[in-house]
Amino acid sequence: MPSFKNGDVEIAYIDEGEGDPILLIHGFASSKEANWIGPSWLGTLTRAGRRVIALDNRGHGASSKLYDPADYHTGKMADDARALLDHLGIARADVMGYSMGARITAFLTLAHPQRVRSAVLGGLGIHLVDGVGLPESIADALEAPSLDDVTDRQGRTFRAFAEQTKSDLRALAACIRGSRQVLSRQEIGAIGIPVLVAIGTKDDVAGSAQALAALIPGAEALDIPDRDHMLAVGDKVYKAGVLAFLDRRP
C-alpha cells in the first residue's frame, strides 16, 4: 500500500483509475476500505471514468496513530489531504468526504479553494456549523474496558464499529476530542464551488442537508431515503446523485 509523510505523520492512500481525479475522505472510526472500497465507491467511480484517490486519515487505518487531541484539529487533517494532492502532483480535484470527512472537506475547501473543483459533503449537514454531530462521550465509550461496559447507544455503535475495523481505540478517542471544530455561517457562505450535501433521511447525527445547502451559494441537497448515518454510505441513491452531480458541474 503506498504512503507518504506530511511532516512526521505517515498517510496511507490508494490511487486507482484514470480520468478526472476525485479525492475521498472517510469518516470517524472508518478507513478508506470501510468507507469507500467495501461499499463499492471505488468501483463505481473508476467505472465512471474517474481517477480515485482515497486516504486513511491520521489515527485511522494504516496511517500514523497519534494520541494528543491537538494533533487531530480538523485543519491539520485537511492539510494531510492537501499534502496528498501535492504528493501526487494533482493541482485540482473533486473532493468527497463523509461525516468527519465532510468536515475535513469543508476545511480544505476554505483553506485551499484553488485545489477543490467541487465538494460532496456526505453525512454532514447543518452540524458543520451548529454543533458537531457526534458527542464527545463517544471517546469515553472507546476508552471503556470493553463493549459490555458501554451503556450509551451511540457510544456502543461506534465502539462496536471501531472494534470491527480493528481500529486503535486510544487514537480514535484522541481524534474525537480534537476534531470538534465548526465553521461560521460567514465562512460557509464564502464557499464558491459547486457543493452537494447528501444525507440519509433517518440520519440523527448529521443535521439538516437543506439547512446547510441554503447557506452555500448554489449548493444542492440530496435526501438518501430511509437510510441512517451508517447505512447511507453505500446507498445506490447516494451513488447516482454523486455521479449526476459530477457530470453536470462545470
In a domain? residue 111: yes
Q: Output the pLDDT for position 222.
A: 98
In a domain? residue 163: no
Round to whole Å and give the CA distance between 33 and 154.
22
Q: Is the pLDDT of residue 250 over 90?
A: no
Q: How many domains are contained in the chain?
A: 1
Q: Say which amino acid occupies 68.
A: D
For residue 89, give the CATH number of its domain.
3.40.50.1820
CB 113 within 8 A of CB 216: no
pLDDT in tens, 145-199: 999 999 998 899 999 999 988 899 999 999 999 999 999 999 999 999 999 999 9
Distance of CA 172 to the CA centre of its chain: 14
Q: Output the pLDDT for position 7.
A: 97
Average pLDDT over the chain, rounded to an integer: 96
In a domain? residue 38: yes
Which structural domain, as residue segments, surrounds residue 200? 3-130+179-248
Lowest mean pLDDT among 1-10, 66-75, 97-106, 156-165: 156-165
- Assessment of whether the complete model's pTM goes beyond 0.75: yes
In a domain? residue 227: yes
